[in-house]
Structure 1
Amino acid sequence: MNVNAPLNTDDLMTWLNYWGRVHVTGIDLGLERVLPVAEKLNILRPEAKIITVAGTNGKGSTTTAVAEILHQAGYRVALYQSPHIYRFNERIKVSGQQATDDELIAAFVRVDQARRACNLSLSFFEATTLAAFLVFQQQNCDVWVLEIGLGGRLDVVNIIDPDLAVITNIGLDHVDWLGDTIEKIAAEKAGIIRPNIPVIFAGQQTLPQAVSEQAQNANAALYVLNRDYFYHIEDKHWLFASPGVTLKLPYGTLAVDNLSTAVAAVTLSGLAVSDTAIETGITKAHIAGRFEVRKKDHKTIIFDAGHNGHGVLFLLKQLKQYLHANPQYTEIITVFSMLADKDIDQVVEYLKPEIAAWYIAPMTVPRAASIQQMTDALIDEPYQQLNTVQDAFQAALAACQNHQLILVCGSFHTLEAVWECID
Structure 2
Amino acid sequence: MKFADLSSATDYLASLTRHGVHPELDSISKVLSELGSPQDKFPAIQITGTNGKGSTCVILDLIYRRAGLRAGLFTSPHLLDVRERIRIDGTLVETDVFLEAMQSVCLAQEKTGVSLTFFETLTAVSFLVFSLSRIDLAVLEVGMGGRWDATSLCVPEVSVLTSLAKDHTEILGDTLELILQEKAAIGRSGKPFVGTIPPEVLPEWERQRSLRGFRPLLRGQDFDGKWEGETEAGERAFSFSGQALSGTYRSSLTAEYQLHNLLTALATVSVAPWPVSQETVRGALLHLFHSGRWEPVPGFSAFLDGAHNPEAAEHLVRQIQAVRQENGKVAFLSGFLREKDWRSMAHIFTEAGDHFFLTVPPGTNGVEPLTIASYLREQRPGIDCRTGSFKEICQSAFNWVAGEPDRLLVVTGSLYLVAGVQKWLSGDDSPLHAGERTSASPPS
CA offsets 1:31-81 (integer angstroms, 9 cap, x no match): 011111111112355333210000000000000000000111111000000
Q: How far apart are residue 227 of structure 1 and its match? A: 0.9
The CA distance in 1 between the partners of 2:356 and 2:179, in whole Å, is 32
Cα distance change of structure 1 residues 403 and 278 upon mapping to structure 2, 3 Å threshold: same
- Aligned equivalent of 2:395: 394
SS of the residue 2:40 aligns to: coil
Contact 2:369 2:387 in 1 (8 A): no
- 2:86 is the alignment partner of 1:92: yes
- Aligned equivalent of 2:422: 419
SS of the residue 1:367 aligns to: coil
- 1:263-342 to 2 correspondences below 5 Å: 263-296=266-299, 299-323=300-324, 327=325, 330-342=328-340
- Aligned equivalent of 1:3: none
SS of the residue 1:249 aligns to: strand
Contact 1:20 1:124 in 2 (8 A): yes
Cα distance change of structure 1 residues 148 and 238 upon mapping to structure 2, 3 Å threshold: same
- Aligned equivalent of 1:260: 263
Question: Which residue identity is paired with 1:280?
Answer: G
Q: How far apart are residue 351 of structure 1 and its match? A: 1.2
Structure 2 gaps of 5+ residues are: 230-235, 427-444
The CA distance in 1 between the partners of 2:374 and 2:89, in whole Å, is 46
SS of the residue 2:96 aligns to: helix
Cα distance change of structure 1 residues 45 and 386 upon mapping to structure 2, 3 Å threshold: closer
The CA distance in 1 between the partners of 2:228 and 2:81, in whole Å, is 37
Question: Which residue identity is paired with 1:251?
Answer: S
From 405, 409, 416, give the equivalent of 2:408: 405
CA RMSD of aligned residues (A): 1.8
The CA distance in 2 between the partners of 1:328 and 1:111, in whole Å, is 55
Aligned length: 412
- TM-score w.r.t. length of structure 1: 0.93
The CA distance in 2 between the partners of 1:207 and 1:140, in whole Å, is 40
The CA distance in 2 between the partners of 1:372 and 1:208, in whole Å, is 42
The CA distance in 1 between the partners of 2:292 and 2:91, in whole Å, is 19
Q: How far apart are residue 244 of structure 1 and its match? A: 4.6
- Aligned equivalent of 1:356: 354
SS of the residue 1:272 aligns to: coil
- TM-score w.r.t. length of structure 2: 0.88
Identical pairs, percent: 24
Structure 1 gaps of 5+ residues are: 1-6
- 2:227 is the alignment partner of 1:233: yes
The CA distance in 2 between the partners of 1:381 and 1:345, in whole Å, is 18
The CA distance in 2 between the partners of 1:386 and 1:24, in whole Å, is 29
- 1:42-57 to 2 correspondences below 5 Å: 42-43=36-37, 45-57=39-51
SS of the residue 1:33 aligns to: helix
SS of the residue 1:161 aligns to: coil
Q: How far apart are residue 8 of structure 1 and its match? A: 2.4
Q: How far apart are residue 390 of structure 1 and its match? A: 2.6
Cα distance change of structure 1 residues 233 and 200 upon mapping to structure 2, 3 Å threshold: same
Question: Which residue identity is paired with 1:318?
Answer: Q
Q: How far apart are residue 176 of structure 1 and its match? A: 1.2
SS of the residue 1:151 aligns to: coil
Question: Which residue identity is paired with 1:315?
Answer: L
Contact 1:23 1:122 in 2 (8 A): no
Contact 2:370 2:387 in 1 (8 A): no
Cα distance change of structure 1 residues 156 and 318 upon mapping to structure 2, 3 Å threshold: same
Cα distance change of structure 1 residues 207 and 234 upon mapping to structure 2, 3 Å threshold: farther
- Aligned equivalent of 1:385: 386
- Aligned equivalent of 2:5: 11
Moved more, 267-276 or 227-236: 227-236
- 2:341 is the alignment partner of 1:347: no
Q: How far apart are residue 282 of structure 1 and its match? A: 1.4
Question: Which residue identity is paired with 2:240?
Answer: F
Cα distance change of structure 1 residues 244 and 421 upon mapping to structure 2, 3 Å threshold: closer
SS of the residue 2:246 aligns to: strand
Cα distance change of structure 1 residues 413 and 21 upon mapping to structure 2, 3 Å threshold: closer
Question: Which residue identity is paired with 1:332?
Answer: V
The CA distance in 2 between the partners of 1:166 and 1:381, in whole Å, is 44
Contact 2:164 2:196 in 1 (8 A): no
The CA distance in 2 between the partners of 1:393 and 1:75, in whole Å, is 41
